Amino acid sequence: MARTVIPFGPQHPVFPEPIQLKLECEDERIVGVVPVIGYISRGIEKAAELNPFRNNIFLCERVCGICSFMHALCYCQGIEDMMKVEVPSRARFLRVFWAELSRMHSHLLWLGLLADSFGFESLFMQVWRAREIILDISEMTSGHRIIQSTNVIGGVRRDIDEEMAQKVEEMLAQFKELADRSILPTILNDPTIKERTVGKGILTKEQAELLAAVGPTLRGSGVASDMRMTEYAAYKEIGFEPIVETAGDSYARTLVRVKEIYQSLDIILKALSMMPEGDIAVRVTGRPEGEVVSRVEQPRGELIYYVKGNGTANLERLKIGTPTFANIPSLLVMLPGCELADVPVITLSIDPCIACCER
Amino acid sequence: MPWMLPTIMKNLFSRPVTRRYPYVKRPPFPEARGKLHFDTEKCNLCGACSRICPANAIIVDKEGRTIKYNPFACIYCGNCVEGCPKKAITMDILYSPPAIQKEEEVITFPPSTK
């Protein structure tokens, strides 16, 4: 049969950011995909070499607009490792608190976009309404809705007192009530969502391992792998078990993320109740020298920072490895065989963040 | 579709969840980070804020006794507020409103008495 190449993107209603997929089609069926990236490369890695290393925190936060806290956390943990700084335990708990808030609002944003991609407008509105509560908590505790800027090398910049913690718990209860009432039942029971996601874009366990998928894409295929299992920050004290689904389709990846929203909620509550008293930061003097690899679990998967310092105020090299870049090969396996109308949903099921991917 | 009736009736008579935005605004939280204010009495024009600003939004002119602050370049991180040795910088809870001309603010200090 004759083959047609359809350019999907870079400007497409389902993509919040520009990526192009050259879809090779036989009638309505996809037989091959070529991704084209590089539309929004900003040269952040080079810019990081020109900044003083302390100011890079604010630059790293701007790699991604959704998981900005994780980027700063990964960078700070790298520099702290290199400079042999012991972070106070209260700061480690506070870091977990903001990291899990970021994960919750990232997953909620994605869930809204997924609902929007198959035309489920009311679910999209409900999910983003619930997300607003999480953003309010973020603004109340850190000062900003998205880019929290609370990390510093050696700890965090803001503290959460008893009164604020109580308010956070109230708001989280409000969120849970809304999610239980209007989001979870729809995702678990609605036939429209199942029609568009169940059995679509299957990634088997072997393929996921072979193509080095990360994050919910990997866990949706039945592999229990999560960077939080490495027990950075305060995950050791709080305890953590990854969420795994075995089906490997778009619905499994959706379920992993929905369950992670609830898991994050529990982790936040645990972090607030277990938080020890004490300092929130230590003073760090000196300049970084040596090289280090730092890894954290972003909402989309494993984030890697390679930092090389040479004893001056500027870094010699900063290399950022982002989860979306690691998940694009898996996407190329999921798409062939599907119908053209399923491409938006399957593409969104890996939660692509192109700004992260291209730095 | 009779099972949809309760939802329809509820939505018909309930109030909207959204605000009538330009008329009703949600006030920011008291901890929100916004525009900078420089206290001309406390500040000794040392230039620490200018050096640590990640966005180069503050330019301190010690000779001319002025501070140029660009609210459109400012990323409202609060680094200068924490780094100021004289605690002369405070943050508003509101950020700078949109404008047609992106102009810098010039803060002029009274002549030195020393």
- For chain A, the average pLDDT equals 88
Tokens describing residue A223: 């592999």
Residue A86 has pLDDT above 90, yes or no: no
Q: What is the pLDDT of residue A262?
A: 92
Q: What is the pLDDT of residue A257?
A: 92
HSE on the CB side for A170, CA within 13 Å? 8
3-state SS of A56-71? HHHHHHCCCCCCHHHH
Q: Give residue A13's pLDDT band: very low, low, confident or very high (50, 70, 90).
A: confident
φ and ψ at B46, to 5 degrees? -75, -25
Measure the CA–CA gap between A270 and A100, rounded to whole angstroms. Answer: 11
| pLDDT, mean of residues B32-50 | 86
CA of B105 vs chain A CAs: smallest distance (Å): 23
Query: Residue A23: in which H helix or E strand, if any?
Result: strand A20-26
pLDDT of A315-326, one tens digit each? 888 899 889 888
Task: Reduce the DSSP state of residue A220 to 3 states and report it.
Answer: coil
Residue B114 has pLDDT above 70, yes or no: no
C-alpha angle A194-A198-A200 in degrees, rounded to nearest 5: 130
Tokens describing residue A289: 């020298």
Cβ distance of B77 and A51 shorter than 8 Å: no
DSSP type of residue A6: E
Q: Could you tell me what percent of chain A has a pLDDT over 70? A: 100
A149 CB within 8 Å of a chain B CB:
yes
Tokens describing residue B17: 């969840």
Q: Decide yes or no: CATH 3.40.640.10 for domain A41-346.
A: no
CA of B106 vs chain A CAs: smallest distance (Å): 24
- Percent of chain A that is helix, strand, coil (3-state, to 5): 50, 15, 35
Q: Write the Ramachandran bin of A351: left for phi over 0, alpha for psi from -120 to 50, otherwise beta.
A: left
Q: Which residues of chain A make contact with B31, given a CB cutoff of 8 A?
A: 139-143, 158
| pLDDT, mean of residues A87-103 | 91
| pLDDT, mean of residues A305-312 | 89
Query: For residue A246, how far is the Cα from the chain centroid?
Result: 21
In the stretch 52-71 of chain A, residues with CB closer than 8 A to chain B read 54-55, 58-59
Q: What is the pLDDT of residue B113?
A: 63
| pLDDT, mean of residues A50-72 | 87
Beta-bridge mates of residue A33: A23
Cβ distance of A141 and B31 shorter than 8 Å: yes
Q: Give residue A288's pLDDT band: very low, low, confident or very high (50, 70, 90).
A: confident
CB A151 within 8 A of CB A76: yes
Q: Tell me which residue has tokens 């605004």.
A: B25
Measure the CA–CA gap between A170 and A98, rounded to whole angstroms. Answer: 17
Task: Reduce the DSSP state of residue A31 to 3 states and report it.
Answer: strand
B32 CB within 8 Å of a chain A CB:
yes
Looking at per-residue pLDDT, the higher value among A138 and B97 belongs to A138
Query: For residue A2, how far is the Cα from the chain centroid?
Result: 40
Q: What is the pLDDT of residue A263?
A: 92
Cβ distance of B32 and A136 shorter than 8 Å: no
Cβ distance of B31 and A149 shorter than 8 Å: no
| Disruptive mutation site among A57, A126, A136, A149 for chain B (greatest number of B CBs within 10 Å) | A149
Q: What is the pTM of this model?
A: 0.89
φ and ψ at A215, to 5 degrees? 65, -150
Measure the CA–CA gap between A283 and A260, rounded to whole angstroms. Answer: 34
pLDDT of A170-205, one tens digit each? 999 999 999 998 888 888 888 888 888 888 888 898
Comparing CA positions, the residue from A346, A351, A353 lying closest to residue A332 is A346
Task: Reduce the DSSP state of residue A59 to 3 states and report it.
Answer: helix
Task: Reduce the DSSP state of residue A301 to 3 states and report it.
Answer: strand
In the stretch 22-51 of chain A, residues with CB closer than 8 A to chain B read 51
Residue A275 has pLDDT above 90, yes or no: no
> Which residue type is seen at A231?
E
pLDDT of A105-127, one tens digit each? 999 999 998 888 888 888 898 89
| Complex ipTM > 0.95 | no
B95 CB within 8 Å of a chain A CB:
no
Measure the CA–CA gap between A196 and A346, rounded to whole angstroms. Answer: 9
CA of A137 vs chain B CAs: smallest distance (Å): 10
CB B55 within 8 A of CB A167: no
The Cβ of residue A3 has, within 10 Å, a number of other Cβ atoms equal to: 10
CB A266 within 8 A of CB A181: no
From residue B10, alpha-carbon distances to A107, B6, B13, B15, B16 in Å are: 29, 6, 6, 10, 11
Domain ranges of chain A: 41-346
B19 CB within 8 Å of a chain A CB:
no
Residue A56 has pLDDT above 70, yes or no: yes
| pLDDT, mean of residues A282-301 | 88
Q: What is the pLDDT of residue A264?
A: 92
Tell the burial category of A291 from Cβ atoms under 10 Å away from its Cβ (0-12, 13-18, 19+).
Answer: middle
Domains of chain B (ranges plus CATH)?
27-108 (3.30.70.3270)
B52 CB within 8 Å of a chain A CB:
yes
Q: What is the pLDDT of residue A341?
A: 87
User: What sign for the dihedral angle of Cα A140, A71, A328, A330?
Assistant: negative
Question: What residue of B is the nearest CA neighbor of A48?
Answer: B54
> Which residue type is seen at A59?
L
CA of B70 vs chain A CAs: smallest distance (Å): 17
The shortest CB-CB distance from A157 to any of B54, B76, B82 is to: B82
pLDDT of A211-262, one tens digit each? 988 989 999 888 888 888 888 888 888 888 888 988 888 899 999 999 999 9
DSSP structure string for A141-182: HHSSSS----EETTEES----HHHHHHHHHHHHHHHHHIIII
Measure the CA–CA gap between A148 and A99, rounded to whole angstroms. Answer: 10
Q: What is the pLDDT of residue A280?
A: 86
Q: Give residue B107's pLDDT band: very low, low, confident or very high (50, 70, 90).
A: confident
Measure the CA–CA gap between B112 and A301, rounded to whole angstroms. Answer: 56
User: What sign for the dihedral angle of Cα A26, A29, A34, A36?
Assistant: positive
In the stretch 157-186 of chain A, residues with CB closer than 8 A to chain B read 157-158
| pLDDT, mean of residues A262-284 | 89
Measure the CA–CA gap between A112 and A114, rounded to whole angstroms. Answer: 5
Q: Which residues of chain B make contact with A140, given a CB cutoff of 8 A?
A: 29, 31
Q: Could you tell me what percent of chain B has a pLDDT over 90? A: 0
Beta-bridge mates of residue A317: A308
Query: Residue B8: in which H helix or E strand, if any?
Result: helix B5-13
CA of A265 vs chain B CAs: smallest distance (Å): 22
Comparing CA positions, the residue from A125, A124, A103, A128 lying closest to residue A114 is A124
Residue A47 has pLDDT above 80, yes or no: yes
C-alpha angle B39-B70-A139 in degrees, rounded to nearest 5: 80
